[in-house]
Structure 1
């Protein structure tokens, strides 16, 4: 792509030699000007090309995601804004492994939450595991609107990412102390555990939903809240898969803790209750073994640790399915992505009625509450169709 305002090398030369009085100095700066001009032109071309690839440029009036609020600013939980959980001044500080253990110790020292009444009550914690920004934030803002007190939001992002949000945003103050996460690496499991631990510090959080930056809701908040709170099951996908992308990832060094027949695979996008969340965070048996083995080998622990662990410890309380729809029909290592042109009313309706499934031993038409992977340029149409169709 050409620069809209390329720097003229000729102008640089003219501006360089105009004030010169002495021939020798002018001769030297003449060639220096040529060198500077060529260098600047080359760098600006590279900058223009890189900048044009930013998917957020196509978004009309996105939330401001450009610079970070001051690391010394203290944000606290606002009792008048229960939907936002604010973390106190961590940005700009090194987040060490000891910090994770301290966080886990704080969770384990907590008193069990007291649930009053005949039915479970509390908040749903939405855990966003992102690479950087949240392109779908405007859609989620609309989804959360008017439901403060029934949800909490936590975001784990690249620790180098700068993010500024208005104070009235549900995402303001929701970023937790984060570390670098790499696709297919064990540090993704560590990030999930970090999100859960932060969310468990709030005793009213009773359900925990892991989402990515490309996830969208398929129903309004009331429907999703009732679906999650009304079920006694966890939603962690777990199944046996032969071949190199399943049992082929198993390592013999897992024995005798995990045998080949117990090695399961599933989507990392889970929905779990507080009991299971606490068990995952406090796991000191399977987690270290997976970290030691998969930290130096290609195990893809994000697809195997939780399915295997949950099946061994919570099989009777797990539905063995995920509530997040994704399209793997194209094959390969990554699911299909959806652009602006894919988003239609018919397409969204289809996602809401993909198939029937069991919900607490009953057949239900609603199987998925969320869907992915939607690219940033699909936001315009999602904002146009989703609120009307989903009634939020």
Structure 2
């Protein structure tokens, strides 16, 4: 700021004609200006304007040193607070291109301890990809209760839908600017990137969890939070399927960015850390290829993120998701997993999902493999609320 003042003053000196000319001191000119303002009725505004025009350069040069804001300049801590404070509302006026650009920024320098140079409580960002209403919201409300400051919520719906949550709801004003989404189209990945980008604007968000309106939590919030915070890998299912619905969807035009042996498939519902989230929203290499060449029957939401992250960060992936689904009811060629309603919700059913798995967690065998489950119909809400305190551990 000081360099700019000096430069302006040098410019003002060069603009003075070589003939001797009396220039009032800056402070004197400002006092005289105020005098003119007080006598404005008698002297007239045109005279004041003429005076300011003649001496504008000197006034401008002196202004930074003489004028101070009424409230005072912010301290360094306050200035930093402006950068790290999350947006108050999820809605904004940015276009997707602007949003993705802004969200792709990532801090490189860290504090002495290797962390952030300010007190930062890592949060889990829950990103709801929904058509419209959230019929299971009351269950999620209980899940989030008393854990403020450790989570954030973002909801992507069809553009014309407007949620009507009350101000005491965790979902109040958490709807982000959205666009139309078509099943099996690249617009599904656009929505995922849009959710990630909005969540990245909050620098405290460390984990990013994609769920749908038919998902439920299987454990209490603290257990879920610690599972993510203690994990050394992100949870993205990425498999090499040699069949028709795997490599059979590959387009030769994907090369050389994506070769056939790099093509991967997996479930849509991912859970990634901040570094991988930034990589997804900042991708300009693989996204154009998928947008142009992955079209039905290539379903981009099953291949884009899975393939891109396998190529760029395969060692960072646990190669599984923590969202449970049941494909058995529809047979081997089912397009959608089973949906569970009121009659399916029993203590035995829920405990079977929670405890019946076998997986690797931080390179160790574990039976705690799933933190969420889908798809649950609205009719499942009432029995879920009844069983949540005794089976799910919250409510």
Structure 1 length-normalised TM: 0.74
Does residue 1:315 correspond to 2:321, yes or no?
no
- Report what 1:383 is aligned to: 385
Is the alpha carbon distance of 1:300 and 1:113 closer, same or farther for their aligned partners in structure 2, counting shifts above 3 Å? farther
Report if the CA contact (8 A) 2:91-2:174 is conserved: no
Superimposed CA distance per residue, residues 291-349 of structure 1 (whole angstroms, 9 cap, x where no aligned partner): 1112x543101001111111101101110000000001122111111011000011000
CA RMSD between the two structures: 2.2
Query: Which has the greater radius of gyration?
Result: 2
Is the alpha carbon distance of 1:114 and 1:378 closer, same or farther for their aligned partners in structure 2, counting shifts above 3 Å? farther
Does residue 1:298 correspond to 2:297, yes or no?
yes
Superimposed CA distance per residue, residues 125-182 of structure 1 (whole angstroms, 9 cap, x where no aligned partner): 0000001111110000000000000000000001111221111110001110000111
Does residue 1:104 correspond to 2:104, yes or no?
no
Output the CA distance in 2 between the equivalents of 1:118 and 1:197: 25
Output the CA distance in 1 between the equivalents of 2:216 and 2:327: 17
Is the alpha carbon distance of 1:226 and 1:118 closer, same or farther for their aligned partners in structure 2, counting shifts above 3 Å? farther
Report if the CA contact (8 A) 1:84-1:153 is conserved: no
- Report what 1:329 is aligned to: 328
Report if the CA contact (8 A) 2:159-2:178 is conserved: yes
1:289: Cα distance to partner? Answer: 0.9
Report if the CA contact (8 A) 2:125-2:154 is conserved: yes
- Report what 1:24 is aligned to: none
Is the alpha carbon distance of 1:83 and 1:334 closer, same or farther for their aligned partners in structure 2, counting shifts above 3 Å? farther
1:369: Cα distance to partner? Answer: 0.4
Is the alpha carbon distance of 1:162 and 1:351 closer, same or farther for their aligned partners in structure 2, counting shifts above 3 Å? same
Does residue 1:186 correspond to 2:182, yes or no?
no
Is the alpha carbon distance of 1:187 and 1:220 closer, same or farther for their aligned partners in structure 2, counting shifts above 3 Å? same
Output the CA distance in 2 between the equivalents of 1:116 and 1:227: 26
1:382: Cα distance to partner? Answer: 0.4
Is the alpha carbon distance of 1:161 and 1:114 closer, same or farther for their aligned partners in structure 2, counting shifts above 3 Å? farther
Report if the CA contact (8 A) 2:152-2:205 is conserved: yes
Does residue 1:362 correspond to 2:364, yes or no?
yes
Is the alpha carbon distance of 1:304 and 1:324 closer, same or farther for their aligned partners in structure 2, counting shifts above 3 Å? same
Output the CA distance in 2 between the equivalents of 1:186 and 1:352: 32
SS at match of 2:95: helix
- Report what 1:345 is aligned to: 347
Output the CA distance in 2 between the equivalents of 1:129 and 1:114: 33
- Report what 2:174 is aligned to: 174
Does residue 1:87 correspond to 2:90, yes or no?
yes
SS at match of 2:388: helix
1:365: Cα distance to partner? Answer: 1.6
- Report what 2:45 is aligned to: none
Structure 1: unaligned runs, 5 residues or longer: 1-81, 91-97
How many residues are matched?
304
Report if the CA contact (8 A) 1:343-1:382 is conserved: yes
- Report what 2:203 is aligned to: 203
Structure 2 length-normalised TM: 0.73
Output the CA distance in 2 between the equivalents of 1:231 and 1:85: 29
Output the CA distance in 2 between the equivalents of 1:115 and 1:338: 48
Report if the CA contact (8 A) 1:224-1:369 is conserved: yes
- Report what 1:288 is aligned to: 288
Report if the CA contact (8 A) 1:134-1:213 is conserved: yes
Report if the CA contact (8 A) 1:83-1:152 is conserved: no
SS at match of 2:328: coil
Output the CA distance in 2 between the equivalents of 1:379 and 1:109: 40
